[in-house]
Amino acid sequence: MNSNQPRLASRRQFIKTASQVAAISALAGPLIPSVHAAGSDLIQVALIGCGGRGSGAAVDALSTKSGPIKLVAMADAYEHRLKDSYNNLRNSHAKQMDVPEDRRFVGFDAYMKAMDCLKPGDVAIFATPLAFRWVHFQYAILKGLNVFMEKPVTADGPTSKRMLKLAEESVAKNLKVGVGLMSRHARPLQELYKRIQDGQIGDIIAMRGYRMHGPLGHFASPPKPQGISELDYQVQRFHSLLWAGGGCYSDFYIHIIDQLCWMKDSWPVKAHGLGGRHYRHAGDGTLYVDQNFDTYAVEYTFADGAKFFFDGRCMTGCADQYASYVHGSKGIAIASNGGDCGAPSSTYKGQAPLRQNRLWQSTDGSNPYQNEWDDLIDAIRNDKPYNEVKRGVETSLVTSMGRMAAHTGQEITFEAMLNCDHEFAPGLDKLTKDSPAPVTPDANGMYPQPQPGIKKREY
């Protein structure tokens, strides 16, 4: 029903993968003179995870207009990523860059050193693979820092429970925390939400979401080459590993899942789904060893019986579709016209989204990536309640429900996902460069695979 071509290239969608390994360390970085991050005073920012997403978030932070803001520290597990990010940011925002060499940190304890450069009320950006989100967040809470964390924020039950507790702690300390689910800050979707809640298309009966295109990022991985440790390989190719990034389902599909649950104003109570691995070799015969399915089809059910159907596919040569729809008893809405939250959003009478049936179409063209940063910094400067962590965890949990349903062949409820005791990578707060990788490949380099109907866990 959508004739628009999917828009696969956004500044934050898989330009380059962000890499970061984290562990607790007692080493402290150099201090910066104390400032008060309120009113029109300077807000200092530390970037942790210097890949494409982190660099994009830093640009958005430095582009806010409500008062002075500077980037004062950077951290990444890999020097080349930090160097590239630093050079690019210096070229575009030199006046707001105050990151001398002694505040550019590389290594497994780099995240702590970067946050040690900040004072309470400053902002830490977390743009590493999601596996390390809780580790970084607990240290930020200890330091009294406001945070912007990229999505997803969890991939399993134990870390979801851990993050929910940390969310409560951060709220109790009045910390402002943004989560990179920018659809919630897309003005067209905000207006659509109001119109749906006001009954413009009637009661929601069903919703459809699609993200189907060719492989992106490190969706597929060949066996580990020589010259890199198993741990580094897994972290750098986090799209391929469930422990590191939740696989392609969690990382690629969370935005549309989040926006449609928002339109419904509730979370689904259960999910069942299917999927498969169709092509495990490249054209040259190279074996792919990642943990992803190539296709996913998941049906979510809400408490009132309404359905949400999601289809995901990463395959070359197939028809692309990347959009989302809401069906009501009186009409239909196009939520995302193309991409994760592509405008315009629109509503129609009846179930055919034709021009003659249109009731409303959005006109706002503002950038949702910038909006989310403007909203966060405004909350910091004016001490407004602002904490998106609980919702970010719940969105991540619903995403994991669908992934686990497809990977196990079982119906997975919201409560079952939350209470599942399978923690993909325990002990990441104690990880060091010499630690074993969280998963072990077989003799062919293949990582443990989901086997629906055989394994009750995902691997």
Q: What is the mean pLDDT of residues 356-375?
A: 98
Q: Domain 187-366+397-430 is in which class?
A: alpha beta
- Local confidence band at 361 (pLDDT 50, 70, 90 cut-offs): very high
pLDDT exceeds cutoff 60 at 9: no
Reported as a pLDDT band with limits 50, 70 and 90, residue 12 is very low
Question: Mean pLDDT, to the nearest integer, of 294-306?
Answer: 98
Distances (CA, A) of 287 to 224, 239, 281: 11, 17, 5
Span 244-263, mean pLDDT? 98
Q: Please provide residue 275's backbone torsions phi and psi, each rounded to the nearest 5 degrees.
A: -175, 175
The predicted-structure confidence for 31-82, as pLDDT tens digits, reads as follows: 443 344 444 499 999 999 999 999 999 999 999 999 999 999 999 999 999 9
Query: Which amino acid is present at 252?
Result: F
User: Is residue 92 scored above 60 in pLDDT?
Assistant: yes
Contact 115, 48 (CB under 8 A): yes
CATH numeric code, 43-183+371-387: 3.40.50.720
Which of 13, 12, 89, 77 lies closest to 229 in space, CA to CA? 77
Average pLDDT estimate for 407-422: 98
Each domain of the chain, given as residue ranges in start order, spans 43-183+371-387, 187-366+397-430
For 180-198, the pLDDT digits (tens) are 999 999 999 999 999 999 9
